[in-house]
């Protein structure tokens, strides 16, 4: 396995652990979300929304941790990449479309993490060994 994929695995574990902390915080006290993330319209944050956010974050954390364990599983790798795309889309839409999450440090952090993770995972695609199918297709094209 390439050195880059090992670094990416460590990154995914770190991001996953941080997300688990955010999950716990979302279940413990929903004011965390209105004070740190959705400061543009804190009145929209309630217990139900916080628990939903917590479950979404927990699911993303589990997927990312599973990918770190089995990083050469292409399907899991793609799903993990999509967790970061969805997170980026969510926070960008909340900041610029719905205006519920102004660009504070609480919003910038997940935007930066999601962006760097997407870039890292796209670069990581280059480190994957070729599958037997890809080798077969390449050989057929030569013939």
What is the spatial distance between Cα 19 and Cα 57, in angstroms, rounded to a whole number? 6
The residue that leads in pLDDT, 142 or 20, is 20
Query: How wide is the angle at C-alpha 79 spanned by C-alphas 8 and 102, nearest 5°?
Result: 80
Q: What is the pLDDT of residues 82-104, one digit of tens each?
A: 999 999 999 999 999 999 999 99
Task: Name the residue ranges covered by the structural domains of the chain.
Answer: 1-141
Q: What is the pLDDT of residues 4-53, one digit of tens each?
A: 999 999 999 999 999 999 999 999 998 989 998 999 999 999 999 999 99
What b/e readout covers 65-89, taking b as 16+ CB neighbours within 10 angstroms?
bbbbeebeeeebbeebbebbeebbe
pTM of the model: 0.89
Closest CA to 72 of 32, 125, 16: 125
Contacts of 50 (CB under 8 A, 6+ apart): 26, 27, 30, 32, 33
Closest CA to 37 of 48, 25, 28: 25
What is the spatial distance between Cα 77 and Cα 41, in angstroms, rounded to a whole number? 35
Q: What is the pLDDT of residues 118-135, one digit of tens each?
A: 999 999 999 887 776 766
Query: Please, are residues 56 and 37 in contact by the beta-carbon 8 Å criterion?
Result: no
């Amino acid at each position: 396995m390439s050195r880059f994929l090992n670094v990416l695995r460590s990154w995914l574990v770190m991001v996953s652990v941080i997300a688990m902390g955010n999950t716990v915080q979302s279940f413990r006290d929903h004011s965390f979300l209105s004070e740190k993330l959705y400061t543009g319209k804190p009145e929209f944050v309630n217990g139900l929304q916080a628990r939903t956010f917590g479950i979404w974050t927990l699911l993303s954390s589990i997927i990312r941790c599973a990918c770190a364990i089995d990083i050469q599983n292409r399907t899991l790798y793609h799903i993990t990449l999509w967790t970061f795309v969805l997170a980026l889309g969510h926070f960008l839409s909340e900041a610029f479309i719905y205006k519920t999450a102004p660009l504070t440090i609480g919003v910038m952090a997940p935007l930066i993490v999601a962006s760097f993770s997407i870039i890292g995972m796209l670069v990581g695609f280059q480190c994957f060994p070729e599958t037997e199918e890809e080798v077969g297709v390449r050989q057929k094209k030569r013939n």
